[in-house]
Copies of this chain bind each other. A is one copy, B any other.
Amino acid sequence: MARKATSQDVADHAGVSRSAVSFVMNGRADGNIAKDKQLLILAAAKELNYTPNSVARSLQAQRTHTIGVVTDSIAGGPFAGKLLQGASSAAFQAGYLLLVIDTASEDIREDGAFTTLLNRQVDALVFAAMSLRAHRPHAAMHGTPSVLANSFDPAGTLRSIIPDEVAGGRAAAQILLDAGHTAIAYLSGTGELVATERRTEGFNAAISEAGLPAIKARETGWEINDGFVAAMHLLADDGGHSPKRERPTGVVCANDRVALGVMLVCGQLGLRVPEDLSIVGYDDDEPLARTTVPGLTTVALPHREMGEKAIELLLGDLRSGDRDQAGGTILVPCPVVMRGSVAVPAQ
């Protein structure tokens, strides 16, 4: 394969000037170039299979059709890449490509990442965190269309796209309420994560609105074993020591791994899921939640959608030509994924 054909090659081949080729390729031919010559040029272009050199085009137009993405860690969690996949495909459809730099959570690298992207003349910037957290946006993000994805600016100067965790927590509770449960337990995870706080807020709101007494969250870790231990305390018969402790018929878990731990305890104790205990997970940790028996009903984190939304927003900016945008928070809903781990409580 020789050198790529240039517009000059096409012009020579068709016996016209390079400008004529350019006009045809950019849809400005009507009224400038005769119909027959248009066809001639088009034929020549096809024969040499000419496609404009997008580097030269970028230089001239001052637009690279490229969006820079700086991320925490591509391979971090189990849903790693879902956000990127959403962003990538939304961008590609609009003729844009992504330049992704992974800082591996080392803040020192962030500065280098942004200046590298700026040198490359990206049209817009995204900062994406792999788990929801506050993040002060880099200086480079002002003066170029930018959004934060799955993270938010404490100062509120930049738009941020985050999951609607409050609604998510509410939805998780509502799944059980709708099925008719009243004895509900809540394993909340631990730490001061903002996601956890908001989920708990939503959960409490739903319980209270349903007219049930407040439910105290039981703090657990985030792993299978943490769910296992917590469920042991929660479900095992204590021999009648504590007075009239009611065993819950449904439980909302901090994430799907914890939910799996609960499932395992049920197996051990001879409790059937969902007949004896309904379980709701969180995150839609796919290979896990889909392959348990029964499948885990869970509230999904909308990673893919956040990625798509981020790009949509930026493309809007680019079309309208705005340089700097006001801040604001876009909440993306957390859809409920119904599988088989929830049922009507036994009488």
Question: Chain A residues in contact with chain B, CB under 8 A?
Answer: 1, 4, 51-56, 58-59, 64, 73-75, 77-82, 84-85, 88-89, 92, 97-102, 104, 115-116, 118-121, 142-143, 223-225, 257, 264, 267-268, 287-288, 291-293, 304
Contact = CB atoms under 8 A, between A and B. Distances in A.
Q: How many copies does the complex hold?
A: 2
Contact of A119 (B53, B79, B92, B292): B53
A78 B287 contact: yes
Contacts of A51: 115, 118-119
A101 B88 contact: yes
A80 B121 CA distance: 28
A58 B56 CA distance: 9
A54 B100 contact: no
Closest 6 CB pairs of A and B: A1-B143, A75-B81, A223-B291, A74-B81, A81-B81, A75-B85
Contacts of A223: 287, 291
A293 B143 CA distance: 50
B88 A97 contact: no
Contacts of A58: 55
A88 B74 contact: yes
Contacts of A1: 142-143
A198 to B, nearest CB: 23
A74 B78 contact: no
A148 to B, nearest CB: 19
